[in-house]
A and B are shown apart, each in its own frame.
Chain A
Amino acid sequence: MSDTPSITRDDVAHLARLARIDLPPESLDHYAEQLAIILGAVVQVSEVAAADVPATSHPMPLVNVFREDVVRPSLTNEEALSGAPSVESERFRVPRILDEE
């Protein structure tokens, strides 16, 4: 798994769709090249990641951190909408939605 991964234009286009970034087509090759270089450098992690080594997701070994089920003040409607690019009827207004949930 230490081979330098190949990243194609289409791979970049797919990643851009997943990440919702509308990349101009002319930039795809550029990103493909850079991603391949970086991935080629970072793939060395698999050299030492033996099966018996547990993964660490959190630097501190905390568990069971909970909050009491007690109400805290919410924002006002004005505060909530204050940074919104578009607002209507106390709601966030967005262009038409294509995908169904």
Chain B
Amino acid sequence: MSTDLTRLTAADTAARIASGEVSAVEVAQAHLDRITAVDDRVHAFLHVDTEGALAAASAVDTARAAGAALSPLAGVPLALKDVLTQKGIPTTCGSRILEGWRPPYDATVTARLKAAGVVILGKTNMDEFAMGSSTEHSAYGATHNPWDLDRIPGGSGGGSAAAVAAFEAPLAIGTDTGGSIRQPAAVTGTVGVKPTYGAVSRYGLVALASSLDQAGPCARTVLDTAMLHAVIAGHDPMDSTSLDVPVPDVVGAALRADVKGLRIGIVKEITGEGFQAGVSQRFDEAVEILTGLGAEVVEVSAPHFPYALAAYYLILPSECSSNLAKFDGVRFGLRVGEDDGNPSIEQVMGRTRAAGFGDEVIRRIMLGTYALSAGYYDAYYGSAQKVRTLIQRDFTAAFEQVDVLISPTAPTTAFRLGEKIDDPLAMYLNDVATIPANLAGTPGMSLPIGLAPEDGLPVGLQIMAPAMADDRLYNVGAALEAALLDRWGHPILEEAPAL
């Protein structure tokens, strides 16, 4: 056995499958074996579809044997966040209320992955309905960070990030409402991108906050991330908020990797104070590298970013209080308390929702119900929507000065499981740097820039670009990644302890 197939990049894997060096079934089996070996400790997956994955891989091999042209990621395994529907496969959103539900349809993202020959291994763990920054709010138990099993893998897409970091899959799909792709990427030493809002269809993405949610790619390299981005992005008439514009050439940008002459802005308001020392240190070093590569780095101000967290924690609960109303025990999912006395449907709905939703979900539904109530709407929801305008204006003004913005992705490295579970406000602060991009609809990437000296855990750098200029993320990310690889001599994940 020469090559460990689980250690390859997606680009490399696809090339080897296309050339016939390995079969897609061998690749899928290697990853299924890896899942069997490590996932009892990582708990990245909620459901592993062994049969479906092998069938999909076999179909790729058959197509190749028949001489069919393969798409660029054909045969490459992927972990799908359990918030996207896959026909006939359990989709729980990390919630008890959807236990056992098998959707009768594919999300557009799922359909595109299947059409591209990507092999879906299974569904990954997440904070319930994507509410959280630690994956501890999953009804099915927390996911553990492969770097330190006592620590959180970030959230809400901790399962997807952990699966990629633990070599259970080279690719994963996440969704990002306030940082749920980028923050897990940062704390697991992986790459994650939240595309421009509307770039990737939300059809079949179980909504948390409709105006903020965006699905995106997760991988171990910037190029892999770009290749996955190219597969899932593009206009979808089933999603009315989907952008009917050409997808930027993200793969080309990742291959270009040239920041010479580029103007890069450090966002003053989400850098420095309040960030862990080791995070700031690695960030400053990355800035130096970018300068060394020929970029012009300046500091810019986004004066309303300090209000982003507050606006977010009004808009999100408001939208989610309405989005989650459909979970009522009538058409799908859990129904509770039907046999206790002679209850009415109203009582059964109330019992089902109380039993099916976890604490954080209930908290946010209550918060949103309050914020939308007559008499409070203007002060809360209305004001939050105005802050959203101000944050968009901050971005517009900043992008008149610079081509991309950067900041640390998260204030700290991975914290310990249980550390913040009882303090919602402390938990919410994890997203302070990532939320502005969701409010404005602009794209953002997190990529690893080293380990914090004080705890040896990964640190992420966030790159933000104007809407529909997602390619800039990949160009800058790939340039920085290449320089760091030169410096380290190996990918960062090689420093992770063996599982």
Direct contact, A vs B (beta carbon within 8 Å): yes
From known contacts A15-B369, A35-B367, infer whether A92 and B386 are also in contact, taking CB-CB under 8 Å.
Answer: no
C-alpha spacing A50/B379, complex, angstroms: 11
Whether the Cβ atoms of B310 and A23 lie closer than 8 Å is no
Chain A, interface size: which category? 35 or more
Whether the Cβ atoms of B307 and A44 lie closer than 8 Å is yes
Whether the Cβ atoms of A49 and B387 lie closer than 8 Å is yes
B370 within 8 A of partner (CB): yes
C-alpha spacing A26/B350, complex, angstroms: 16
Whether the Cβ atoms of A39 and B370 lie closer than 8 Å is yes
A82 within 8 A of partner (CB): yes
Whether the Cβ atoms of B334 and A85 lie closer than 8 Å is yes
Residues in chain B near residue A99, CB distance under 8 A = 346
Instruction: Give chain A interface residues in 27-68, CB to chain B under 8 Å.
Output: 31, 34-35, 37-39, 41-50, 53-60, 62, 65, 67
Residues in chain B near residue A42, CB distance under 8 A = 310-311, 313-314, 380, 384
| Contacting residue for B386 out of A19, A54, A83, A96, CB 8 A | A54
Whether the Cβ atoms of B345 and A94 lie closer than 8 Å is yes
Dominant secondary structure of chain A at its interface with chain B? loop
A4 within 8 A of partner (CB): no
Whether the Cβ atoms of A55 and B370 lie closer than 8 Å is no
16 contacting pairs across A/B (C-beta < 8 A): A21-B362, A21-B366, A31-B362, A34-B424, A42-B380, A49-B382, A49-B383, A56-B385, A56-B392, A58-B211, A59-B211, A59-B439, A65-B241, A67-B237, A80-B104, A97-B344
B331 within 8 A of partner (CB): yes
Instruction: Give chain A interface residues in 69-89, CB to chain B under 8 Å.
Output: 75, 79-80, 82-86
B268 within 8 A of partner (CB): no
- Chain B contacts to A: CB under 8 angstroms: 101-105, 196-198, 211-212, 237, 240-241, 243, 304, 307, 310-311, 313-314, 321, 325, 328-335, 338, 342-351, 353-354, 357, 362-363, 365-367, 369-370, 373, 379-380, 382-390, 392, 424-425, 439-441, 467
Residues in chain B near residue A67, CB distance under 8 A = 237
Whether the Cβ atoms of B350 and A38 lie closer than 8 Å is no
| Contacting residue for B102 out of A24, A82, A95, CB 8 A | A82
Residues in chain B near residue A47, CB distance under 8 A = 307
From known contacts A21-B353, A59-B440, A94-B345, infer whether A82 and B104 are also in contact, taking CB-CB under 8 Å.
Answer: yes
